[in-house]
Amino acid sequence: MHRCHGQHAGHSTASTGGDTQALYDARELAMERMQREAEELHAEGIVGVQLNSHNHRWGGHTTEFFAIGTAVRPLRDDHVIERPTMVLSLDD
């Protein structure tokens, strides 16, 4: 298995009036960038995905989203990767 860690950000400047669409768009952008990088590596999928956000207060209210994951691809043509299963932590 080849692992490639990627971190991609999406930025949103949302008004204090509750412009949630900008937040959704920024989150989607971060995830799309991560997926695009995995596709460029010919990955079978992405595991261990984390979506984090960080709020900035300079120049208005800005939220930055980070999509972090591990792209998984076979080492050779006859290598088969098992389908990952979803695991939800009960600690969060």
Could you read off the pLDDT of 10-60 as tens digits, one per residue? 555 555 545 778 888 888 898 999 999 999 988 888 888 888 888 777 656
pLDDT at 1 over 50: no
In the structure, how many helices (H) and strands (E) does the chain have?
1, 3
Partner residues linked to 52 by β-bridges? 66
- The secondary element (H helix, E strand) that includes residue 27 is helix 20-40
Query: What integer pLDDT is reported at residue 92 of this predicted model?
Result: 58
Query: What integer pLDDT is reported at residue 18 of this predicted model?
Result: 54
Partner residues linked to 68 by β-bridges? 7, 50
